[in-house]
Amino acid sequence: MKHVFVINPGAGKGKGKTVAFIEPMIRDYFSKNGGDYEIHVTTEPYEGIDFVRKYPEGEETVRFYACGGDGTLFEVVNGAYGKKNVQVAAIPLGSGNDFIRLFGTKEQLADVEAQVNGTPIQLDVIKCMDKIAINQCSMGLDAEVCAKQGTFKKIPLLSGEAAYTASLLYCFIGRMKSTFTVTIDDGEPFTQPTLFCFCGNSRWYGGGYMAAPHAMPDDGLLDFVIVKKAVSRAKLLSLTQKYKNGEHLDWPITKFVRGKKMTIHSEKPAAVNVDGECEYVTDCSFEIIEKGITFVVPSSSTYFEDVEKGIICDSKPLRR
């Protein structure tokens, strides 16, 4: 097996600290244990997609390690999607690291030996236009928040979660007027003033907001959460912490459905968020691709034991 480490030097707060932290660990492991490995440090945004996509294919399995945050994982997944004999692992070095929360803590997963000795499993992914998401997609207020979050992340001392919260408060002022027509699978379309539509393959986004508290990334279903714009800004602000804790599925303004595909039409251009990558559209769809990626669960993770014990299941949230 070939081990290829894709390192984003701008992950977290950047300034090269990501490379300085992880590269010595990689070289130390392989100097002691042997193995075929390569280190690639990305040079600009989205360069990781092209690097992985153009990487030579053969009979040998290649495991790409996304060393960074959720954005780095997005790049590696989109480069790896559709390629044969390719696996994806995530070494969390970013400020949010939302996707990996289901599999363990940042400390457990930032372990090169555990990653190399990890177990590959088949996970579903989400197709949205020409992009692939492994974690989530959304459209509406939370996508507007995501689009603005990058600005707040540049402020010193604002982590992924704090930057998301600051962006949320900012967008509460002027980005709450969307009317969406939504269709889920073969159901009847419905049109309503909508706060946001969320599609979860896993549970967290925005640096720790549990939008889809029951989602499982290997069950062949997506968790759709549609929140109607039917309460005041003041009321919504008071509900923010409950939303963060995953306590929103039983709200009268929330529609929660599991399915394969959600299609959304907006009366005017609205932000769509695909694993943190945002653009403005009037129409989009979120559709499951079952077993679309091979993901590596590191040996330090308790994921398999937690699933067996029912600690991680589709009937209850996971506090991490």
For position 182, what pLDDT does the model report? 98
For position 157, what pLDDT does the model report? 65
Question: Is 317 a member of any domain?
Answer: no
> Given a cut of 80, is residue 149 above it in pLDDT?
no
> Where does residue 3 fall: left (phi above 0), alpha (psi -120 to 50 degrees), or beta otherwise?
beta
Query: Is 243 found in the same domain as 199?
Result: yes
> Given a cut of 90, is residue 286 above it in pLDDT?
yes
Query: Is 88 found in the same domain as 212?
Result: no
Query: Is 20 found in the same domain as 64?
Result: yes
Residues 6 or more apart whose Cβ sits within 8 Å of residue 213: 203, 246, 249, 316, 317, 318
Query: Is 159 found in the same domain as 104?
Result: no
CA dist list (Å): 148 to 4, 173, 204, 256: 32, 13, 18, 26
Direct distance between the N- and C-terminal alpha carbons of the chain, in angstroms, rounded to an integer: 32
Question: Residues 272, 138: contact at Cβ < 8 Å?
Answer: yes
How far apart are alpha carbons 138 and 286 in whole angstroms?
Answer: 8
Residues 244-283 pLDDT 10s: 999 999 999 999 999 999 999 998 999 999 999 999 999 9
What would the mean pLDDT of 157-168 be, rounded to a whole number?
A: 72
Query: Is 275 found in the same domain as 154?
Result: yes
Q: Per the structure, how many domains does the chain have?
A: 2
HSE (CB half, 13 Å, CA atoms) of 211? 26
For position 316, what pLDDT does the model report? 83
Which of 8-22, 152-166, 167-181, 225-239 is predicted with the least confidence, judged by mean pLDDT? 152-166
Question: Residues 303, 101: contact at Cβ < 8 Å?
Answer: no
Query: Is 227 found in the same domain as 153?
Result: yes
As a whole number, the mean pLDDT across the chain is 92
HSE (CB half, 13 Å, CA atoms) of 170? 16
CB count in 10 Å sphere of residue 18: 24
Name the nearest CA neighbour of 196 among 244, 132, 241, 255.
255
pTM for this one?
Answer: 0.91
pLDDT band at 17 (very low <50, low <70, confident <90, very high): confident
Query: Is 209 found in the same domain as 139?
Result: yes
Question: Is 314 a member of any domain?
Answer: no
For position 192, what pLDDT does the model report? 95
Query: Is 114 found in the same domain as 176?
Result: no
Give 127's strand partners: 132, 287
Question: Is 123 a member of any domain?
Answer: no
| CATH code, domain with 90 | 3.40.50.10330
Query: Is 145 found in the same domain as 87?
Result: no
**212, exposed or middle or buried, with CB in 10 Å at 0-12, 13-18, 19+?**
buried
For position 14, what pLDDT does the model report? 60
For position 218, what pLDDT does the model report? 97
Question: Is 124 a member of any domain?
Answer: no
| CATH code, domain with 145 | 2.60.200.40
Question: Is 113 a member of any domain?
Answer: yes
Token pair, residue 34, equals 């042997």
Question: Is 320 a member of any domain?
Answer: no
Query: Is 285 found in the same domain as 219?
Result: yes
For position 147, what pLDDT does the model report? 78
Query: Is 139 found in the same domain as 114?
Result: no
Question: Is 87 a member of any domain?
Answer: yes
Residues 2-16 pLDDT 10s: 999 999 998 875 656
Question: Is 139 a member of any domain?
Answer: yes
Query: Is 89 found in the same domain as 23?
Result: yes
| Domain assignment of residue 158, given as a range | 133-289
> Given a cut of 70, is residue 80 above it in pLDDT?
yes
